[in-house]
Structure 1
Amino acid sequence: MQSNNPIFTRAEVYADRGNPMTVEGAIQKSVLMTVIAAVLGIAFYIFCNMTGNSSLAFGGLVVGGIGSFVVALIATFKTHLAPSLAIPYALLEGVFLGGISLFFEARFPGIASQALLATFATALTMFALYRFGIIRATAKFKAVVISATLAIMAVFIVQWIMVLAFQSTIPGLFESSWLGIGFAAFVAIIASLNLILDFDLIENGAANGAPKSFEWLCGIALLATLVWMYVSFLRLIGLLSSD
């Protein structure tokens, strides 16, 4: 079975047909992980903000971002470890969210709440569109969204290499210009559409009798998409707010 989350290229499912996953179980675990990440993110943000500890916030951003990515990869290729890695993953994402929110808030006051509202509203909209069959995860839809996701990842990798190696950026694409804003909006849209793939992943996993551990992997996938959406909205709103 293959996960369509941008972090994952494949998901190795171990045969445990005696205890299959359910949609309800995957949803419960996804909600639990999201709440953990959100609560820790808010607490970490408040602590760093009250103490003025920007170094701690930056450390949380880096450690949380890299750590959550590594944990997600391990869970992807070792699906039976997903139950043990899911909560640590949520905690790392929470630290990352708190750190990155603080830095955006320092430059654009109020942006975190705006991005959070946009993420919540978009997630509900995507769920409704999927639930009522308005948007279906057809093979063509999956191919387009996955291709766009991989293309976005490639652009960000090139950007990071240029910044680290040459102290430069891709011209116009990450600036407060029509091109930069357009690209940020495109990223936010693709991030949101990945939710459709995650919903489909959960339903197909349950329909095909995936093992119980796959519920936790679905939770990791869904949380990763929500975090990606939130960061995408932070970038988009930030660019729109720039002078």
Structure 2
Amino acid sequence: MRTSSNPAFRNLPQGGGHAGFGQQQYGQAQPYGQQYGGGYPQQQASGERPITIDDVVTKTAVTLGLTLVTGLVSAWLVLTGAVNPIALTLPGMIIGLVVSLIIIFKKTPSAPLVLTYAAAEGVFLGGITGVFEAFFPGIAWQAILGTFGVFAGMLVVYKTGAIRVTPRLTKWVIGAMVGAGVLMLANLVMGLFGVNLGLRDGGPLAIVFSLVVIGIAAFSFLLDFEAANEMIRSGVPSKWAWWAAFGLMTTLVWLYLEILRLLSYFQND
């Protein structure tokens, strides 16, 4: 079993029915990647160094750090009036979307693509955050703390085995994500025709909907953790840590935006 030099991970419980990085779980159950038609290339086939927990932690930290830096710069430019928010959010959103699709459909992980995605998302999030912060001072830090609070909480839930990632849970989370996406798309389309479904207007239904979406995003972290765990168990090449970082980053971006939106509802009074 591989161990980590990172004390935050090394000291978490492993074994005994709990989810543990680098360790097979659930008896004879098939690995996560194989259960859902995926799977990752084995380390033996490539001859490369196998992935470790430290690889995942390091690559995720680099990716997140780049997003934070570009986000802070973008937010500062918006708050100082140096740049129109649209000039940041629109290009950042488009570039981030295009690069994310390339990463998803590319057969091998790519550090430059993941870092490009992180930088683009930082510009996008920074532009949006600057606008929200201008209207509601202090909301940005609340959203950041809330996002990392949820992330830390779900990591503890995963590592202690309080909630296990099973095929049934995975199908439920994916189904909930699709359902939420359909509702948001319907709300957008109906809004173009002047029909308000109440999902994004700051009312009671909008608050409940945001809480549900935040819950779905939180459970998505469990799938991200399990995917990284399966990579380590399977001994895939270390470059796949960039893929794990990308998965965690996309969930963090989604969660942050939803928490930011929810907090703004309570600022309207």
Q: Which residue does the alignment assign to 2:6?
A: none
Q: Which residue does the alignment assign to 2:47?
A: 18
Deviation at 1:12, TM superposition (A): 8.3
Deviation at 1:238, TM superposition (A): 0.8
Q: Which residue does the alignment assign to 1:75?
A: 103
- Contact between 2:93 and 2:121, CA under 8 Å: does it hold in 1? yes
Amino acid in the other structure paired with 2:173: V
Q: What are structure 1's unaligned runs of at least 5 residues?
A: 3-8
Deviation at 1:72, TM superposition (A): 1.4
**2:200 counterpart of 1:174:** yes
**CA distance 1:84–1:14, change in 2 (3 Å):** farther
Deviation at 1:118, TM superposition (A): 0.4
Q: Which residue does the alignment assign to 1:138?
A: 166
**2:234 counterpart of 1:205:** no
Q: Which residue does the alignment assign to 1:47?
A: 77
Deviations for 1:4-27, whole angstroms, at most 9, x for unmatched residues? xxxxx9978566542232232122
- Contact between 1:61 and 1:100, CA under 8 Å: does it hold in 2? yes
Amino acid in the other structure paired with 1:42: L
Q: What are structure 2's unaligned runs of at least 5 residues?
A: 1-31
> What SS is found at the alignment partner of 1:242?
coil
Higher helix proportion: 1
Q: Give, in whole Å, the separation in 2 of the partners of 1:239 and 1:115.
A: 13
Partner of residue 117 from structure 1, selected from 124, 145, 151: 145
Deviates most, 27-36 or 16-25: 16-25
Amino acid in the other structure paired with 1:40: T
Q: Which residue does the alignment assign to 1:6?
A: none
Q: Give, in whole Å, the separation in 1 of the partners of 2:225 and 2:194.
A: 38
Q: Give, in whole Å, the separation in 2 of the partners of 1:213 and 1:233.
A: 31
- Contact between 1:13 and 1:211, CA under 8 Å: does it hold in 2? no
- Contact between 1:11 and 1:76, CA under 8 Å: does it hold in 2? no
> What SS is found at the alignment partner of 2:161?
coil
Deviation at 1:83, TM superposition (A): 2.0
Partner of residue 217 from structure 1, selected from 235, 243, 252: 243
Q: Which residue does the alignment assign to 2:154?
A: 126
Q: How many residues align?
A: 234
Q: Give, in whole Å, the separation in 2 of the partners of 1:88 and 1:134.
A: 35
Higher relative contact order (CA 8 A, sep 6+): 1
Amino acid in the other structure paired with 1:179: L
- Contact between 2:74 and 2:130, CA under 8 Å: does it hold in 1? no
Partner of residue 30 from structure 1, selected from 60, 63, 74: 60
Q: Give, in whole Å, the separation in 1 of the partners of 2:39 and 2:188.
A: 29
Query: In terms of Rg, which structure is larger?
Result: 2
